[in-house]
Amino acid sequence: MMCMPANLAVEFNDDLVAWTLRAIPEKVKEIVADLSEGVAKRTKYWKGPLRSYLTKLENRKGYLFAKDLIITDGCTGCGWCASHCPVSNIQISEKSSKPVFMNHCMVCMRCVYGCPVRAIQCKSSVVFQKGFDLDAVERRMEGRELKPVKQCCKGLLLVGVKKYLLEKQT
């Protein structure tokens, strides 16, 4: 399993994101080794009532999120969002050359965070517009010593991420 904290409602610090980036190459090696040896793994985790509710809500009500997306005047009509939407929820209007959102959004936010000109914004949901610009995080963290994992992974929301990162350090 690959792990990256989501930033739909909470923005995470650069140290946490940098620790996660450091863990990825080792995890990829582990996954590739398992695949080449034919080892099938599934991560079993407890899915509490809140998580179950949020998952169901996300699956059923994603179109509500898409209805709150607005296209700014900065949109160039390049079609990046439509070509990168994993569920083909976005079509480019022939009339305006702007994205149009259908009714089966899965709230991955790839369109919001991936738009080359940041022209897709959410007017009512709590979305951190800058997303995870991993290159920018790496530039900001260059030459800096990372805070210990236990220091940058505080709170109930980060229990799983903290466990994952500490597992990678041992």
CA distance 50 to 36: 36
CB atoms near residue 62 (< 10 Å): 19
Domain count, the chain: 1
pTM confidence score:
0.59
pLDDT in tens, 80-135: 999 999 999 999 998 989 999 998 888 888 898 889 998 998 886 666 555 566 77
47 vs 155, more confident: 155
Residue 13: its pLDDT value, please? 85
Domain housing 135:
14-19+47-169
Residue 38 lies in a domain: no
- Whether 133 is covered by a domain: the verdict is yes
Axis-axis angle for helices 159-169, 14-36 (nearest 10): 60
Residue 39 lies in a domain: no
CA angle in degrees (0–180, nearest 5) for 33-164-60: 95
Residue 5 lies in a domain: no
Residue at 29 is within a domain: no
Instruction: State whether the Cα torsion 126-115-54-22 is positive or negative.
Output: negative
CATH number at residue 87: 3.30.70.20
The predicted pLDDT at position 137 comes to: 84
- pLDDT tens readout for residues 18-66: 998 888 888 889 889 988 998 876 655 556 677 677 677 666 677 778 8
